[in-house]
Structure 1
Amino acid sequence: MLIWEFVVPGIPLSVNSKDPKKKRRWIERVRGCATGYLPDEGFPLAHDVSVSVTYFHGGPTDVDIDNILKRIIDGMYPEVLVDDAQIQDVSASRRDMQGGSFRNPPAIVLPNLISGEPFVYVAVYPAMTQEELLWIGKLQG
C-alpha cells in the first residue's frame, strides 16, 4: 500500500559532490517536490517505512544509483519523515526512458516519461515485516 509518492525533475546529485551550494539546492529541490502536495494530516510519518527510488534518464549516464540515495532521503525530512532512521528498507534502480516501454506507470510518472527529461520517482510504503522478508525466518535448532 503506497503511502506517498513524488517526482523530482532533473539529474540527481551524487553524494560524492563536494559543492555545498549544489548539495543544498538539490536537497531543497527534493524537499520542495516531496512536500508540494502533502495532505494536511498524517505527516510527518512517525512509523517505519520502505522507500523505493527510481532514476529515469534518457541515454548514457554516469550516475551511480547508490550515490544518489542519501541526498534524496535527506530531502524527505522533517516534513515527510520525522527521522531518516525510520527507513527500514530501500530499493533503488536506474532506468533508461529510451530503452523500452513501461506498462501501467503511476499517474504521477506519466507526464515525466512523455517529456523525456531526466527525473527521480520516489515512493514511500509501510516497512516490510520480517515475515515478508523470505530469507529471514525462524532459526531451526
Structure 2
Amino acid sequence: MQPFEFVVVGRPISHQSNNKALLRQWQETVRTAAVTAWPEEQPPTTQPCLLVVVYFFGRLPAYLDNDNLLKPIQDALNGLVYEDDRQVTDTAIRRTSIEVQFRFRSGRHSALLMQTIRSETEFVYVRVEDAPSHEELL
C-alpha cells in the first residue's frame, strides 16, 4: 500500500468523552476527510498497517491520553483504509504545539503536512502505511 495521509482541521475528541454525539460527529469528520483523500474505488488494504497520528494544537491543547486520541480515528478508518482495525499492528502518536519552529528536511515530509503546519490552524495529521517487518525485534 502506498502511504495514505490526510488532515482533519480542528480539535480532536477523546474516546472517553461523555458527549457521545460529539464523539460520533468527530468520527464522521475524520471519516469524511479520509474519504475525500482515499483513491476512488480502491479497496481497503488487507495487510498489517502502521497508523501515525499527530495532533498539532494551539495555545491550549485538548488534554487527552494518546490511546483516547487514537481510538476514534482508528475506528473511523475501518472498512475504508483497512478492512478491520485489528490490522493496525503499529502506531505512532504525538501531540505537539503548532507554535514550535519546525525544520523540514528535503524529501522527508509530505507537502500536505508542511502546508497545513504553515496555516497555523489546530489540526490532526493522519498517515497509514504498511507496517514494518515484524521479523525484526524493536
Please, what TM-score do these two structures have when normalized by structure 2?
A: 0.87
CA RMSD of aligned residues (A): 1.7
CA distance in 2, matches of 1:49, 1:124: 7
Question: How far apart are 1:84 and its partner, in Å?
Answer: 0.5
- Determine if contact 1:2/1:123 at 8 Å carries over to the other structure: no
Please, what TM-score do these two structures have when normalized by structure 1?
A: 0.85
Which runs of structure 2 are paired with 1:1-141 in the superposition (5 Å)? Answer: 2-61=2-61, 62-104=63-105, 105-134=109-138
Q: What code does the residue aligned with 1:117 have? A: T
Aligned length: 134
Q: Which runs of 4+ in 1 moved over 2 A?
A: 40-43, 62-66, 131-134
Q: What code does the residue aligned with 2:127 have? A: A
CA distance in 1, matches of 2:23, 2:40: 28
CA distance in 2, matches of 1:57, 1:80: 25
CA distance in 1, matches of 2:71, 2:24: 13
- Determine if contact 2:51/2:91 at 8 Å carries over to the other structure: yes
Percentage identity across aligned positions?
35
Rg larger for? 1
Q: What code does the residue aligned with 1:10 have? A: G
- Determine if contact 2:5/2:37 at 8 Å carries over to the other structure: no
